[in-house]
Amino acid sequence: MGELDRLANQHILESLSQLRHIDELMAKAKVARDKQQLAAQATSALPRLEQEHGRAAQELKALGSLPKPATADTVARSEGVKGVLQKIGLELEKVLTAVGDKSGL
């Protein structure tokens, strides 16, 4: 496996793990929203985060089906998806931390 293949594969695996984590956070945020525990700003951010999540998941799926060997473009795209997912995860964690602070969790 070449270096570009290794990097792209590493980014994809990390992104898949982050995607699963985001799915869990998103489920918790939706429960908090349904219980009206989210601030209005957080509630309005959820649809945007869901859209970004969906786009990142589609891009990740497309990256997984690209032919080998990986190119520098593949590595850059996989790194970009990883960054987007990290950003979404951080935003969701902030939302849920605020809920925990309010409810004393």
Q: Among 48, 51, 71, which residue's Cα sits nearest to residue 59?
A: 51
Give pLDDT tens digits for 83-96. Answer: 999 999 999 998 88
pLDDT at site 105:
45
Low-confidence ranges of the chain (pLDDT < 50): 104-105
One-letter-per-residue 3-state SS of 30-69: HHHHHCCCCCHHHHHHHHHHHHHHHHHHHHHHHHHCCCCC
Predicted structure pTM score: 0.85
- Where is 29: in which H helix or E strand? helix 3-34
pLDDT at site 101:
57
pLDDT at site 39:
82
